[in-house]
Every structure is written in structure tokens, then in C-alpha cells.
Amino acid sequence: MHMKFYLLFIMIFSLGLINSSFGQISFEYDLSTPLDDHIGCGFCDSNNDVVFPGWSYKENSGSNANFLLKFYPDGTEKMVYIDGNDSLLCFCVGVELYQEGYFFVGAKISEAFPDSTMRLVVLKTDYDLNVIGIKDFSLPDTYTQLDTRFAITLDNNGSIVVALGLGRKEQGIYRYDYGFYRFTTGLDLLSYKILDTFSRAIPYCIKRMNNSSNLMVIGTGYLSWAEGELLFIDEDFNFIRANRIHTLGDFFYSEGWLSDTTFLIAERKTIDNGTYDEGQFRIGRMDTSAVYYESFVVDHPDTIDYVMDHFGMSYLNDTTVYLCGFNVDNGFGFDKPKIIFLYLLDRDLNLKRRLELGNDHFYWGRGVIATKDGGCMIWAQKLQIPYNGWLNDHHFWKVMPDDLNIVTRVTDVPNPDFNSVVWPNPAADIVNIDISAMENGSNLRLAIYDASGRKCFDATEVVSGRFLEVNLRSLPAGVYLYVVTSKNEVDRISGKFIKN
């Protein structure tokens, strides 16, 4: 196995509710083996370690490997192989068990009979990834397959709850129903229940309801012709209700709660502009009735913008929310490098910082995980250029907030053109807006719109100087309208600038 580790630089950072006692470092890690590598959904534990389940195989070769990969805050890593006893163990999700270690869930596939009936497998390890126990369970009658997209959480009693897709063949075609499982921390199966679906069940995530023992699943499959749905079940997995998501998006993901009934949700959305499909990804506020409120949208012209396949957003606290995605050409060729886009927002969807990663390989983004030190871990599938076949390697980036570009800041830099409110104009990377008319210490809001009227930037700042410096590197060339308003919307500054 060939692996490369890159140590970039050390960052010391302290921000609000972020725990500054952790070692804080940025790094990259490349996972490249002769096999086809797959990485499941990782998580950040209470020690700020990030843990990923994974597996490697090569079709028809008899070669496979089941592993757990752990990154420590100082940038070091540890990989442990799990003996599958001639079976491929596809661990898809995991969760930390408080002061006990980790719990992983996945599918067990016979190496000798890859098309045979799968089994559900659970694994418990300590914090050093030493195996404490492993068990596998047969699927309910008539079901033979498991979808590799699982969702996991802990219930109010500390038991592990898993949502998954159970596959059975009907008239030669597999259909997947929702399966809900509850396990003890000792790997015993407490209960399970199946919910028949209209189409293929995909549980993107499962969340505990605030001040309740009920659970909410964000997924698709139960309602007819629905791209997304909020599915509510009680603690015994009995169906309560399902609300259709009307945004016409997919690849939904959510973490945290803004209130007992509202939360942030990321999604991918495709828009038919009459010539070709224009893809975008976004994050917005939604309530439990599936009503969608304002959103922050990422849409690069003439490309398809994808939210990450698994974790499109990650919520650390009200001031640290990460949104992550990537884009591909409409032709969807593998011959050009692709960029990972990372955005740091607050709970009100104000953009604070942004960063572009990659652009040296074709990256297919998988997810982003906020870490306890205020940073995040990003992982993506990596394809070689020129394209040499769909061989899965993976790349990881640990990013600290100081790595991201500051989008706006208030300064006292003197205006070189005292007759201008905005300068330079036209601008290449940075534009400055005179806000000397705003009251010092007050809050202001900056919104930028493109020529079509689409909002492409929205952020708040505290007035602590005479000028607002705006980073334009994320904007394509064109004419833009800016609007600066005070919190009470009494004071207002507006105008136009040109981005070269």
C-alpha cells in the first residue's frame, strides 16, 4: 500500500465556542492502493480525532481489505485492518460511544459468492481501534441486499439507531425499503422494523428530535415521486408522518438544530435553463413541516455544481457552519482537474470565508466534517488525469479557519480616490466600499447581486473602521450591484462595480 502524507503548516486559532486546547494543524493525506478504495461516512469524536470506516477490493481478484482510518489533531494517522474471514466488510457509518470507543455498521459480503445474500454487520472498537467485538445478522425474509448508504445516531437512552435500505428482488428488479435497527453498545440487536416504500429508500441522515424521543429521517423513497422527504418515526420505529420536500433537489444532509422545529439543510439542485441542465448546491433553513426558507446558493455558470455525496454541510455551532461541494463540466469529462469549494458561514447563512482546494486531479467530493478545533476534514474520491479507469483513490484535507480567504473585513486604509465610494472600479480581486457614514460599533449587512438580480453574496460585519474590504475572487467577471444597510435598515449605501 502506497500512502503519502503532507504536513503543510501549523495554525493557532481561537474562536468563540471552539475548543482551543486541541492541537490545531492543517494537513493533506493521500490514500492510494492497487485496489478499489471506498471510504464510508466519518465522524469527529470528543478528542477531536476524525475516524473513517473503509474497504478496498478488486473485482474478480479475490483481494479485499477492511480497514478503519483515524486522523489525530497533530496530523498523524493510524490505519487498522479488520479480519473479515474471507468476507468483504463494507462498514459504511460509525459513531462514538461515550467513553467506550466506537460503533460501526455495514454490510458483510461473501468473497466467494459476491451476488449472494448480504448480512448486516456491526463492530465495536476502543479508542485505539482495537476490536472489542463483531457480530453479523441475517436480513429479514425475502431481503437479500443492503444499500451502502446508512444513517446512524444515538437515541436518548444511548442505544445505537441505524436507518438503511433493505433490498429485495421483484420481477427481476431490486426495490429497497426502509429498515430501522436498534443495537445496544454491546452489539446486541434490540429491535428492527421495516417500512415499505414507493421507490428506492435512501436515508441521507437521521436526527433526534429536540425534547422528544421521536426521530426524523431526511431521505427519499417513502412518498411517491418525491425527490426528498422528512420522515418521522417514534422511538419504537412506528410511522408518524412524512412531509414532502418541494425544493426538487437531492443529496440532502443536515446536522444540528436551530430551534425545536428548524434546522439547516444542504442539497443539490438542477435547473433546466432551456439549453442544458445547470447544477447548483445550496444550504438553507427548513422547518419540520418541510417549509424552506432563505438559502445560500453556489452556482458557477456553465458547470454542474454538486454538493458532497454524503455530508454536504457540517454544523459545529452557530458561528461555524461548513458547506462543501465541487463542480464538473456539463460534458462530464474526466480529463480536466476539478475543484473542491469550501464555505464557512454562520447560522444566519452569512458567508464569512471561502476556499478552493484541489485542481490537480479529478475530485469527486464525498463529505465535510466540522472538527472541535473549529476546522474541518474534507474527503474526496480522486481520479488520475489522464483518466486510467474508475479506480478509486481518495484524498483528505484538514482545513483550519485561517486557511480560508476572508471574504469581507472593515479597515481604516485611506481611500486613494476621495471622490469615489467604491474603488478600484473596475476591480480584479479586492474592492473597497466607503462606509464612513455608518455609525461606529453598529452592525451592517452587505449584499451583492449580479446583473440578472441573483444574490451571490450576503454577509454581516461590525463597523469598526471607515472602509469595507470585499474579496471578489469567487465572483466571475461581470457587473454587480452592492447594497450596504445598517441593522435597522435606516442607513443605506448602494452602487455598482465591475469585476474584471
**Separation of alpha carbons 283 and 341, rounded Å:** 13
**In terms of domains, do 460 and 396 share one?**
no
Output the pLDDT for position 488. Answer: 67
Cβ contact 494:481 at 8 Å: yes
Q: 3-class DSSP state for residue 316?
A: strand
Cβ contact 434:413 at 8 Å: no
Alpha helical stretches, state H, 150-288: none
On the CB side of 182, CA atoms within 13 Å amount to 15
Phi, psi angles (nearest 5°) of residue 402: -70, -15
Grid coordinates standing for 317?
455551532
> For the CA atoms of 462, 464, 468, 473, what is the dihedral angle to 10 degrees?
-70
**Separation of alpha carbons 327 and 307, rounded Å:** 9
Q: Please enumerate in sequence order all residues whose Cβ is within 8 A of that of 414, keeping only pairs 6 or more positions apart, or say none.
A: none
**In terms of domains, do 281 and 384 share one?**
yes
**Separation of alpha carbons 86 and 63, rounded Å:** 9
**In terms of domains, do 47 and 158 share one?**
yes
Cβ contact 431:422 at 8 Å: yes
Each residue's pLDDT tens digit in the chain (500 positions)? 333 333 222 222 223 344 555 557 899 999 988 788 889 999 999 999 999 999 987 665 556 789 999 999 999 999 999 988 878 889 999 999 988 999 999 999 876 555 678 999 999 999 999 999 999 999 999 999 999 899 999 999 999 999 999 999 888 888 899 999 999 999 999 999 999 998 899 999 999 999 999 999 999 999 988 889 999 999 999 999 999 998 878 899 999 999 999 999 999 887 776 666 678 888 999 999 999 988 888 877 667 888 898 899 999 999 999 999 998 766 556 677 788 999 999 998 888 888 889 878 888 899 999 999 999 999 999 887 776 666 778 999 999 998 887 777 676 655 555 456 888 999 988 898 988 888 776 778 888 888 888 777 777 776 667 888 888 876 788 999 999 888 666 678 889 999 99
Output the pLDDT for position 63. Answer: 62
Q: 3-class DSSP state for residue 474?
A: coil
**In terms of domains, do 114 and 183 share one?**
yes
**Separation of alpha carbons 249 and 299, rounded Å:** 14
Phi, psi angles (nearest 5°) of residue 401: -55, -35
- Shortest CA distance to 459 belongs to which of 348, 355, 375? 348
Determine the longest span between alpha carbons in the chain, in angstroms. Answer: 78
**In terms of domains, do 297 and 340 share one?**
yes
Domain that holds residue 442: 408-499
Among 368, 384, 405, the domain boundary falls at: 405
Output the pLDDT for position 8. Answer: 28
**Separation of alpha carbons 175 and 195, rounded Å:** 12
Cβ contact 384:440 at 8 Å: no
**Separation of alpha carbons 215 and 237, rounded Å:** 8
Among 370, 405, 440, the domain boundary falls at: 405
**In terms of domains, do 168 and 22 share one?**
yes
Neighbours of 397 (CB within 10 A): 25
- Which residues is 326 bridged to in the sheet? 306, 340
Output the pLDDT for position 473. Answer: 74
Give the count of domains, the chain. Answer: 2
**In terms of domains, do 215 and 244 share one?**
yes
Q: Please enumerate in sequence order all residues whose Cβ is within 8 A of that of 383, keeping only pairs 6 or more positions apart, or say none.
A: 334, 361, 362, 363, 364, 390, 391, 393
Cβ contact 375:399 at 8 Å: yes
Cβ contact 337:361 at 8 Å: yes
**In terms of domains, do 355 and 473 share one?**
no
Provide the 8-state DSSP code for 403.
G
Q: Is 268 exposed, middle or buried (0-12, 13-18, 19+ CB in 10 A)?
A: buried
**In terms of domains, do 345 and 254 share one?**
yes
**Separation of alpha carbons 380 and 179, rounded Å:** 28
Cβ contact 73:23 at 8 Å: yes
CATH assignment of the domain containing 428: 2.60.40.3080
Cα dihedral across residues 294, 299, 301, 304: positive or negative: negative
**In terms of domains, do 245 and 371 share one?**
yes
Q: 3-class DSSP state for residue 493?
A: strand
**Separation of alpha carbons 289 and 271, rounded Å:** 24
CB environment 400-435: b (16+ within 10 A), e (fewer): bbbbbeebbebeeeebeeeeebbbbeebeeebbbbb
Q: 3-class DSSP state for residue 468?
A: strand
Q: 3-class DSSP state for residue 26?
A: strand
Cβ contact 416:434 at 8 Å: no
**Residue 204 identity (one-letter amino acid):** Y
Neighbours of 307 (CB within 10 A): 31
Among 352, 382, 405, the domain boundary falls at: 405
- Shortest CA distance to 379 belongs to which of 144, 43, 73? 43
**In terms of domains, do 382 and 252 share one?**
yes
Grid coordinates standing for 173?
428488479
CATH assignment of the domain containing 230: 2.130.10.10
Residue ranges with strand state E in 196-272: 202-208, 215-220, 228-233, 239-245, 249-253, 262-272
Q: 3-class DSSP state for residue 367?
A: strand
**Separation of alpha carbons 267 and 79, rounded Å:** 32
**In terms of domains, do 390 and 432 share one?**
no
